[in-house]
Amino acid sequence: MRQPNRRYTGIDGPNSPTTHRTKDSPAFQTNHADREPHPEPGRSVISVNGKRRNRSHSRETSHQEPDVLAPSAKKSKLDSDCKTEDGKPRRRSTSSRADLNSSRDSPSTTVNAPENAGLIQGHPVPFDADYGNLQSMVDESKAIALRMNANGRERQFLEVGHDKKRCDVQVSGLGVGRIHCLLVLELVDNDQGPVVRRVLVIQLNAASVQTTIKVRGTTLQLGKKPLVLHPGSLIRFGRGPWFQYHGPQFRNLYQEHHALYGGQRANSSVSRIHRLHDGFVFVVKTIGGAQSGMAKSEVAAFKILGHHPNILRSAETFYNKDADIYHLVLEQAHADLNAFVHQTRQSGLIDLRTVAPAWVKSIAAGVGHVHACGMAHRDLKPQNILVFVTGPGRVSLKVADFGLARLNTERVIKGWRAGTKGWMAPASFMKYYDDRFTDCYGVGRILYFM
């Protein structure tokens, strides 16, 4: 039985609408193609059948293009995972969902993430989720939707071929087999960054049946190793027509509610949303226009930082290439530290002098993790520290907003400064300075604020 979702009522997002910030030299940009996309050995992967596998996979978000090759998977293993003994598709296990939900009910401490607050470790697998579509390059009006739930049945894979009775994706053309290949729908959560929905293409028949994929100008032939189908890549079954894969869309997975701050005319806004398949509540940070560069920096930062109890967790990232807009789906907090401190002072329920040392210790732990990853935040202030209420008198603090973060290996351009007016460290006005020292000043400044 799924536990009820706890909805937080705070109205403050990661930033204040009146924040004034000076943008530094180009915020750090990482070359995703050069980064190792595979998680460390032993990382777990939630597959679509609700089981965890200890396999290494390449990772992507909707805007990334990591390595194309996925680890090898034998047909016998695939059949055992995706089908029952009589050959029928395996339905999801209700016990796996119960196990995942029960993990949310573990006791929390002052530095743990709040239970039931959106995407926390061990989330339900979205069996009815959208995985994008295959659009015909011959007839643009023809698009094949890739969904886990269709025609009243749940599925973890799609059979591709010319068999009209059996195949989920029917294609015709020279060289197309009866059951040509499989498109496996997976949800990857390796505890090292945002969750990833991806499509694996797996060969079933002899090598004479060809499947061709074009990605970033490179042509690949499907063999024993599965290939990851990335958004924008082309795929052809046999010598049939080409199809272009379009990744899942934000509007097909989440429903947006009222804006917490910002608006449609602003370059950025934060709104409360809920995930359609299970109703879990998040916030979405929509960034576009002149601030799209900061969005790229923040997306790259979440990829590098992974998961830490004192770092705001990113659930998913979507990129609308036509509109140049990023949608960052994030955990929903009760409030930011600035608003929470003012509320606490008015109510008098918490003695700030008593709890401030523990709160600053949590903030320092998050900042220390940022520095350990070779980065500097450069914009620490109460508005960028989010508060999660975990129980009566207990809160968890998390560092947020990495739009101005920078890798320590990047060169600092003379004359450029980063931060928010009134919260910038004196060292940031010097000719040469270490960004990590400015973060240390920011932590002390927040302690003085409390």
Residue at a domain's end among 291, 312, 331: 331
In a domain, 113, yes or no: no
Can you list the alpha helix ranges (DSSP code H) found in 314-351? 337-347
In a domain, 297, yes or no: yes
Distance, in Å, from the CA atom of 417 to the CA atom of 402, rounded to the nearest integer, reads 15
pLDDT for residue 3? 44
In a domain, 221, yes or no: yes
pLDDT over 60 (residue 71): no
Distance, in Å, from the CA atom of 377 to the CA atom of 435, rounded to the nearest integer, reads 8
Residue at a domain's end among 331, 363, 387: 331
Q: For residues 158 and 243, state if they share a domain.
A: yes
**Which of 61-70, 174-183, 411-420 ranks highest by mean pLDDT?**
174-183
Which of 94-103, 221-230, 245-254, 287-296 is the least confident region? 94-103
Distance, in Å, from the CA atom of 196 to the CA atom of 246, rounded to the nearest integer, reads 15
pLDDT over 50 (residue 18): no
pLDDT band at 48 (very low <50, low <70, confident <90, very high): very low
Which class for 393: exposed (0-12), middle (13-18), buried (19 or more C-beta within 10 A)?
exposed
Distance, in Å, from the CA atom of 276 to the CA atom of 65, rounded to the nearest integer, reads 26
Q: For residues 422 and 433, state if they share a domain.
A: yes
Q: How many CA atoms lie within 13 A of 206 on its CB side?
A: 2
SS3 408: coil
**Which of 155-159, 225-229, 426-430 ranks highest by mean pLDDT?**
225-229
The CATH code of the domain that includes 196 is 2.60.200.20
CB atoms within 10 A of CB 346: 8
pLDDT band at 153 (very low <50, low <70, confident <90, very high): low
pLDDT in tens, 303-358: 899 889 999 998 888 888 878 889 999 999 999 999 999 988 888 878 888 888 99
Residue of 410, 412, 408 lying closest to 432 (CA atoms): 412
Beta strands in 68-147 (DSSP E): 130-136, 143-147
Distance, in Å, from the CA atom of 360 to the CA atom of 443, rounded to the nearest integer, reads 7
Q: For residues 231 and 152, state if they share a domain.
A: yes
Q: What value does the mean pLDDT of the chain take? A: 70
pLDDT over 50 (residue 232): yes
Q: For residues 363 and 326, state if they share a domain.
A: no
Q: For residues 137 and 241, state if they share a domain.
A: yes
In a domain, 325, yes or no: yes
pTM exceeds 0.85 for this model? no
pLDDT over 50 (residue 40): no
In a domain, 151, yes or no: yes
pLDDT band at 197 (very low <50, low <70, confident <90, very high): confident
Q: For residues 134 and 242, state if they share a domain.
A: yes
Q: For residues 393 and 378, state if they share a domain.
A: yes
SS3 61: coil
pLDDT cut 90: percent of the chain above it:
14
CB atoms within 10 A of CB 187: 21
Q: What average pLDDT does range 267-285 have in this prediction?
A: 85
pLDDT for residue 285? 92
pLDDT over 60 (residue 98): no
Q: For residues 391 and 413, state if they share a domain.
A: yes
pLDDT band at 189 (very low <50, low <70, confident <90, very high): low
Buried b (16+ CB within 10 A) or exposed e, 227-243: bbbbbebbbbbbebeeb
pLDDT band at 87 (very low <50, low <70, confident <90, very high): low
Q: For residues 297 and 215, state if they share a domain.
A: no
pLDDT over 60 (residue 413): no
Could you tell me which residue, 282 or 2, shows the higher pLDDT? 282
Q: What average pLDDT does range 276-282 have in this prediction?
A: 82
Residue at a domain's end among 279, 303, 331: 331
In a domain, 8, yes or no: no
Pairing type for strands 211-215 and 153-154 reads unpaired
368 Cβ neighbours under 8 A, 6+ residues apart: none
pLDDT band at 25 (very low <50, low <70, confident <90, very high): very low
Which class for 395: exposed (0-12), middle (13-18), buried (19 or more C-beta within 10 A)?
buried
- Domains: count for the chain: 3
pLDDT band at 127 (very low <50, low <70, confident <90, very high): very low
pLDDT for residue 167? 86
In a domain, 378, yes or no: yes
pLDDT over 70 (residue 429): no
pLDDT for residue 6? 39
Q: For residues 204 and 176, state if they share a domain.
A: yes
Q: For residues 368 and 418, state if they share a domain.
A: yes
Q: What average pLDDT does range 416-440 have in this prediction?
A: 70
Given the structure tokens 């990829």, which residue do they identify? 303
pLDDT over 90 (residue 388): yes
In DSSP notation, 145-207 reads: EEESEETTEE-SEEEEES-TTT-SEE--STT--TT-EEEEEEEE--SSSS-EEEEEEEE-S-T
pLDDT over 80 (residue 42): no
Q: Are 28 and 374 in contact (CB under 8 A)?
A: no
Q: Are 63 and 319 in contact (CB under 8 A)?
A: yes
pLDDT for residue 259? 79
Distance, in Å, from the CA atom of 43 to the CA atom of 429, rounded to the nearest integer, reads 43
Which of 106-115, 153-162, 209-218, 225-234 is the least confident region? 106-115
Distance, in Å, from the CA atom of 331 to the CA atom of 389, rounded to the nearest integer, reads 13
In a domain, 360, yes or no: yes
- Which range marks the domain in which residue 194 is found? 129-248
Q: For residues 327 and 342, state if they share a domain.
A: no
pLDDT over 90 (residue 33): no
The CATH code of the domain that includes 312 is 3.30.200.20
pLDDT in tens, 371-384: 999 998 988 999 99
pLDDT over 50 (residue 51): no
